[in-house]
Copies of this chain bind each other. A is one copy, B any other.
Amino acid sequence: MTENLAKTGSSKFHKNTFEKTTEGRRQKVLEVAIDEFAANGYSATSINDIARKAHISIGSMYSYFASKEDLFLTIVNNAYVVMEKILDDVAQESIDVFDCIEKMLYASRKFAVEYPQLNQIYLDITTQALSQMSIRLSNKLELITPRLLCNLIKEAKSEGKISSDVDERVVSFCIDNLYMMYQFSFSSDYYKERMRIYIGEDNMGDIDKVEESILKFIRRALGEN
């Protein structure tokens, strides 16, 4: 992950100096920043603490990032690049809409379990206090999934694989809402506890069965023919 994070995404929130430092140093800064932002949230995290824990001076830190916000956005942007790659792979490998829906559900859990901290940071971005920040991210990720899902559903409709009267836009929205909440359910303690209450302690051990039920829910909702 940190390897990917040390690369530059399509948007750039760091200064050139950050690219010129050693890879080890870049990774250390990003690792510590991810730890801090995930555990405390953006507002309660201090860029001074991050510098101290990464063993660099605050002067160096500001030579890499103009502000705490830019450091935060660097992490978020690179996390989007990782998520984008996962979604691209799913799209490439999918045979049809149902296969894609299945693979996307697994990918949501995989991403949450592999990168819990990035998902905790993501939860933070969705809050109103950070609304100004999300504007600067230009909704990259928020465009990939809608387009992918919507096109696949449209295609399946025209091929008669699913009911012809589904509204592909609203249905894509619903399906992605199910993915997001499922992903969140492996991210923060709040959502983990909520899922445990819903599906029960006994079912928590058999996640394959849970996913099978979610997929059945979606397939039926699409009016699979």
Are the C-beta atoms of B40 and A210 separated by less than 8 Å?
no
Copies in the complex: 2
Are the C-beta atoms of A203 and B169 separated by less than 8 Å?
yes
Give CA–CA (A217, B41) in the complex, Å.
Answer: 35
Q: How many chain A residues touch the partner (CB < 8 A)?
A: 62
Known A176-B198, A178-B177: A128·B187 in contact at CB below 8 Å: yes
Chain B residue, CB-CB nearest to A141: B194
Chain B residue, CB-CB nearest to A181: B177
A116 to chain B, nearest CB (A): 8
Are the C-beta atoms of B43 and A142 separated by less than 8 Å?
no
Interface centre among A120, A167, A218 (most CB of B within 10 A): A167
Chain B residue, CB-CB nearest to A145: B198
Binding site for B on A (CB under 8 A): 38-41, 43-44, 120, 123-131, 134-135, 139, 142-143, 146, 163, 166-167, 169-174, 176-178, 180-182, 184, 187-191, 193-195, 197-200, 203, 209-210, 213-214, 216-218, 220-223
Contact of A188 among B40, B127, B218, B220 (CB under 8 A): B127
Are the C-beta atoms of B127 and A194 separated by less than 8 Å?
no
Are the C-beta atoms of B203 and A170 separated by less than 8 Å?
yes
Give CA–CA (A44, B182) in the complex, Å.
Answer: 28
A119 to chain B, nearest CB (A): 9
A187 to chain B, nearest CB (A): 7
Are the C-beta atoms of A199 and B129 separated by less than 8 Å?
no
Chain B residues with Cβ below 8 Å from A180 are 181
Give CA–CA (A40, B216) in the complex, Å.
Answer: 40
Besides A135-B189, A177-B181, A220-B220, 6 other CB < 8 A contacts?
A166-B213, A170-B214, A171-B217, A174-B214, A218-B221, A221-B221
